[in-house]
Amino acid sequence: MDVYGKFVGLAEWKVLIDDWLEKSEAGQQPDAFYNLKPDAREISYDAIFVGGGAAGRFGCAALTARGGRGLVIDKWPFLGGSCPHEACVPHHIFSEAARELDYAREFGGEYWYPEWDSTKASILEIRDMFMNNRNTGHSIMNFQSKEQLGMEFILGSWAKVIDNHTVEVDGVHYRAKNLVLCVGARPTPPDIPGIEKYGVFDWASILDDLDYEPNRCVVIGGGKTALEYGSFIQATGCHTTYLSRSPILGTKGLQHVDDDIREFVVRMLKHRGSTIHEGAEPLAILSEGSLGEDKVTGVKFRDAQGNEHVVDTDFVFLGTGERALSHQFDVLGLELNERGQIVVDKQMRTSVPNVYAAGDLIDGPMEMFKARKAGVCAARVIMGETDYEFDYSDFPDFLHTTYEVAWTGLSEREAREQYENVMVIQMPPKGIAPEDCGLPATDGSMFFAFTRPGLNGIIKSVIDADTRKIVGMHSVGFGNKNSFQYLDVLIKQPGGFTIDQMGEVNELFLNDGFPQLHRLRAGQKQLRDL
């Protein structure tokens, strides 16, 4: 379907995407959406972006904005990729539900909350809230990309890379001076006997395949995805057991997690009723039923002491790794690392001339900022910014439990290894029993602060007392996530951000506590902890 030159509104895109996906699910081959200028088959694009997720969409937008000719191609009938379709966006719905359910449970029978009844919260219903409406978000991506950003695209068709200048779609060859590869990654099940059984899910299959309400859950993993989905599942009233090889939040991919933050998170997971086994090695997924239709009944694991146990469960959630979809480009002979990711330099160049890669196809955090900015980086380099580099080794980080957990910079322990005089500001202060400290970590924890002190969050700032610069910030609470984007800028700007500068911030009270706590100490020449 040719949409070039026609205005397509949000509501119209929604219908088009709905129809496309419906046909596709029915086994038909729906028409792709072509938004190409008339000379598309004749010219050589500055770049073709293979994959229209975060990296491809932002990369093509950046290239187009700089006057380049870009073309982005995606197998799905929308731009934006897996994030709005099955990854970050549904996780955020689940996390919003988790927070609400946490209140409903904690305050059940008090105030206006009815007695807590765990049978009322349906994972399927919340999942369906997302599934029934997700194409609304998709329609905005298509609208914005076409009407506002002027991007050329082919959506709803596979791109086959022929060589480093040629991509084929529906039998037609499109030429480009450069290719930017950004088709992302998929969850990979860990190598555990029985992992293929019915009742084992990951973030993708929970959307498409779950058709029953679980009674008990085992989460395999102890990193972001594990905690985010596990916290939601527990909040619905489904008892959740974590089996994690590493300590919770101690997985290799997570940097700079402070010990006090980790302690708070683990204590809160347990307070909500979850069971945690750290150092646990899953040995087998147990099941019963006739062959090929057998359903999960438990997970056998070896604990940190070497003893074997079985956890009964009817639901296993895999919060473990993902694998880059790099093999569809084998024709190019790209250099891959030992995890199958495409090797790139700081300009997103691969080992093959004129071929770039971005997003989850490459190393580094599988995060939105990295995908988008890597796509933009490739576009800028292609458009002649020969010095432009993107370093994604240092970034603010975040995860949901029923709380928002956000951090940037160094943990206290890392800071003490690096600096001689480290000062710490935290609330509740070190040595104070959290349950005596009913100060809200920020508004959004008022009910907890006033009726359940100890559940009201923690904030922490780590300072090099010699230079007075803030070198790490950490928080668990509510409403802190957005702010860490900007705190990251401030503390990492040239010259840094000192305790004195933080003390000058005009706080919007009730706030995260950082400005005022820093101000209270900023007067000291010799800084002491607070």
Verify binding: residue 436, its own copies, rule CB under 8 A.
yes
Residue 317 pairs with which residues in a beta bridge?
A: 201, 219
Residues 469-488, interacting with its own copies (CB under 8 A): 478-488
Verify binding: residue 437, its own copies, rule CB under 8 A.
yes
DSSP letter for each residue of 97-131: HHHHHHHHHHTTTSTTPPPP-GGG--HHHHHHHHH
**Which run of H or E residues covers position 174?**
strand 172-176
Verify binding: residue 9, its own copies, rule CB under 8 A.
yes
Give the nearer residue to its own copies in terms of CB position, either 9 or 289.
9
How many residues can be counted in the chain?
530
Backbone angles phi, psi at 456, to 5 degrees: -95, 15
- Least distance to its own copies from the beta carbon of 520, Å? 5
Q: In this structure, which amino acid lies at residue 432?
A: I
**Catalytic, out of 21, 33, 58, 138:** 138
Instruction: Give which of 441, 411, 434, 442 is closest to 424, Cα–Cα.
Output: 411
Give the nearer residue to its own copies in terms of CB position, either 125 or 417.
125
Verify binding: residue 522, its own copies, rule CB under 8 A.
yes
Residue from 187, 444, 454, 472 touching its own copies (CB under 8 A): that is 444
Verify binding: residue 406, its own copies, rule CB under 8 A.
yes
- Least distance to its own copies from the beta carbon of 275, Å? 23
245 neighbors 275 (Cβ within 8 angstroms): no
Residues 79-138, interacting with its own copies (CB under 8 A): 83, 88-89, 92-93, 95-97, 100-101, 103-104, 111-112, 114, 120-122, 125-126, 129-130, 133-134, 136-137
Distance of CA 175 to the CA centre of its chain: 33
Give the nearer residue to its own copies in terms of CB position, either 3 or 530.
530
Q: Is 88 a catalytic residue?
A: yes
- Tell me the per-residue interface mask from 232 to 251 with its own copies, x by CB under 8 A, - otherwise: --------------------
Residue from 398, 412, 426, 469 touching its own copies (CB under 8 A): that is 398
Contacts 24+ apart (CB under 8 A), 372-376: 372/54, 372/55, 372/57, 372/58, 373/58, 374/55, 374/59, 374/182, 374/348, 375/49, 375/54, 375/55, 375/56, 375/57, 375/58, 375/59, 375/60, 375/62, 375/180, 375/182, 376/58, 376/59, 376/62
149 neighbors 79 (Cβ within 8 angstroms): no
Verify binding: residue 449, its own copies, rule CB under 8 A.
yes
Give the nearer residue to its own copies in terms of CB position, either 356 or 484.
484
Residue from 127, 256, 469, 521 touching its own copies (CB under 8 A): that is 521
Q: Which residues 6+ apart lie within 8 Å of 170 measured at CB?
A: 32, 157
Residue from 160, 204, 439, 467 touching its own copies (CB under 8 A): that is 439
- Least distance to its own copies from the beta carbon of 436, Å? 4
Q: Is 227 a catalytic residue?
A: no
- Rounded CA gap, 34 and 25, in Å? 21
Give the nearer residue to its own copies in terms of CB position, either 421 or 482.
482
Verify binding: residue 442, its own copies, rule CB under 8 A.
yes
Residues 51-70, interacting with its own copies (CB under 8 A): 58, 61-66
Give the nearer residue to its own copies in terms of CB position, either 325 or 371.
371
DSSP assignment, residue 341?
A: P
**Catalytic, out of 83, 217, 334, 410:** 83
Verify binding: residue 509, its own copies, rule CB under 8 A.
yes
Q: Is 437 a catalytic residue?
A: no
Give the nearer residue to its own copies in terms of CB position, either 78 or 484.
484
- Checking phi first, is residue 198 left (phi over 0); if not, alpha (psi -120 to 50) or beta? beta
Residue tagged 């576009």 (tokens):
379
SS3 content of the chain, % helix, strand, coil (to 5): 35, 25, 45
Give the nearer residue to its own copies in terms of CB position, either 6 or 120.
120
For its own copies (CB under 8 A), the number of binding residues is 105
Secondary structure in 3-state letters for 451-473: HCCCCCCEEEEEEECCCCEEEEE
Structure-block tokens of residue 158: 């596979």
Residue from 446, 467, 496, 500 touching its own copies (CB under 8 A): that is 446
Verify binding: residue 516, its own copies, rule CB under 8 A.
yes
Residues with a catalytic annotation lie at 79, 83, 88, 138, 509
